[in-house]
Amino acid sequence: MQTWQIVLIAIGAAIIVITAAVCGVMLYTSAQRKKGVLALNRVTGRLNRFAGIRSFKVLSNVTLQTGKKESIQVDRILITFNHVILFKVCSQFDNIYGDAKDPTWVSVRTDKKTNNTLARTVFDNPFRQAQKANDAVRRLLTQHKMGKVQTEFYVVFGDPKANLSIGKGMPVLSDKAFRQLLTRSKYSEDGPVDVNEVAKLLGGEA
């Protein structure tokens, strides 16, 4: 076999490998996107069912000002008679690693048989984003003399397959933990919050 033939074979093999890698990334990205939509729909459906029978409200895609030229979007906000609860919904569905102080978290997909890493994705710390949004809501409520309204925030990984390895004590929930959260009696109790007034103040899509 001549040298030029060997070179052509090597180039062809390299192209095949690169193409396979690109296709793999595209398929994984597409899967993440679809999983993200399903996760958000799953969380939204449960919030709507919870709110619907209690005269509560669920707001979607609320944009809050965090500075003169800065803003942040909240995926979902649940307004009850006692609380304003913010939810940052995450689409990652692999092994999740992170802590409160980390600027970014990591999603790692591994082969169950070999434990080899198949994909690794870095994303902005969702806890920080949710905390920042909660601070913005608190400022807004205080400015409108509603500072006594209790607020909470949670990061929810809405896909049941997400495996969380994160700092202890953080308001970060798996799909199962999110379902359990809504069973807490304190969220169903009567209270002083004017649901419609708070919803109007925060805006968003009801």
Mean pLDDT of the chain: 86
Which domain, by its residues, includes 14?
3-202
Structural domains of the chain, count: 1
Return the structure tokens found at 141. 């409520």
Question: How confident is the model over 50-74, as a mean pLDDT?
Answer: 90
Instruction: Give the per-residue pLDDT at 63.
Output: 93
pLDDT tens for 149-206 read: 999 999 999 999 899 999 889 999 999 999 999 999 999 999 989 999 999 999 866 6
With 80 as the cut, is the pLDDT of residue 19 above it?
A: no
Q: Which residues contact 97 (CB under 8 A, 6 or more apart)?
A: 105, 106, 107, 108, 165, 166
- The pLDDT value recorded for residue 112 is 76
pLDDT at 14 over 80: no
Model confidence, pTM: 0.80
pLDDT score recorded for residue 113: 81
Residue appearing with tokens 């999603």: 107
Which neighbouring-strand residues pair with 137? none
